[in-house]
Amino acid sequence: MECTQEGATDPQEIALKMDTYCVVADPGQRASYGQVYECELSDDALSLSLSEAGSSELGLPRRVHFPLRMEPSTLAATKAGIRRVLTSGRRSALPRLSL
């Protein structure tokens, strides 16, 4: 799974609600824009709660959980990156963060 930061100001992207962060999942590089409701990152796991649309678009369950093993400095950088990406774009699409 990959998250990207979007900063669209193009009217077409705004109309399509693609003016926010994007989550991409394999296989098939399925993409979903602004469909994460909640993101929780602890010392040993990342959990995402997706909207019904996001779940369908990505082919994932509504709640996904990724076990993690990271050094403290890597975890801190990951938290900063997740915060930067998931708070980009349209305000109405921002998830609740527990980092």
Task: Give the residue extent of every domain in the chain.
Answer: 2-98
CA 28 to chain centre: 17
pLDDT beyond 90 at 49: yes
| Per-residue pLDDT at 7 | 56
CA distance 95 to 44: 20
**CA end-to-end span of the chain, whole Å?**
18
Give the number of other CB atoms < 10 A from CB of residue 12: 9
Looking at residue 8, its pLDDT comes to 52
pLDDT of 65 > 90? The answer is yes
pTM for this entry? 0.84
pLDDT tens digits, one per residue of 4-19:
555 556 787 777 777 8
Residue 55 and residue 38 in contact, taking contact as beta carbons nearer than 8 Å: no
Query: What's the whole-number mean pLDDT along residues 51-71?
Result: 96
